[in-house]
Amino acid sequence: MKPQQYHYRVVISYKGTHFFGWQDLGDNGKKPTVQFLITQVLRKICKLAACTVSAASRTDAGVHAAGQVAKLSIVKDISAEKLQLGMNSLLPADIRIMACTHCPTEFNANRGSVSKIYRYYFSLDEVSTPLLNDIVAHVDLCTDPLRDKKQVLETMGQGCEHFVGEYDFYSFSVNNKQVKSTLRRILRLELRQAHFSNITNNSYYFEIEGSGFLRQMIRYIVGALFELARGNIEIAEIDAALRRRNEHKLSTKAKARGLHLMQVNY
């Protein structure tokens, strides 16, 4: 007789700097991932009994999360509060369970979501700030002395508008033959100033909300906006890439360290 399972919905925050992404790589932790470490902690709490951990998003190596959502399925009946406390006492400091509640068996963290919100943080400081290096990408966009920072930011803000809507994002993602469709809908993409207390006043972020994202899609979009700001590509080229399935990318992808999964909506 199959043992009864108990299901929990958790919100997870992690700094991805030292992890090889979310998904367990099947190498017994030689390259540590967030999913692997959470699974190991759960197995310890459940005295090595089988358990499953499935998340809303498979973040890449070096990518962070403030609001990753996952479903935990275990065979031990434990209160959500005790499970949260127990996991946080065993997990490394770079991973924390921010919320834990019981959920129905049919809850699916990925397929059940209606939208996901990411932020890409970047700094325009002349010299990168060591205190933020792990979570904010340092970029040089003002390569033309005739273009000031205000103009650069306005150019990127205008470029953001061209990604909003439903498009084939094949040209802005890693080719994955397992994906049936590369059609995705971007609900909004906005450029805002970030506030990191007195550490820097020269940091910004793109906030992007979509119904779903292809692998490295956001990093390619941000990379294209950076190249637009540098004057290396035109908005017309972005529009053309959204109409065609190009193997050649408009730009390199932005660094992983600036990307944060902020929220998953249901």
Catalytic residues: 60
- For the chain, give the number of residues: 266
Residue 105 class from Cβ within 10 Å (0-12 exposed, 13-18 middle, 19+ buried)?
exposed
Give Dmax over CA atoms of the chain in angstroms.
74
Beta-ladder partners of 116: 210, 264
Beta-ladder partners of 209: 117, 188
Whether the Cβ atoms of residue 95 and residue 37 lie closer than 8 Å to each other: yes
Q: Is 28 left (phi over 0), alpha (psi -120 to 50) or beta?
A: left
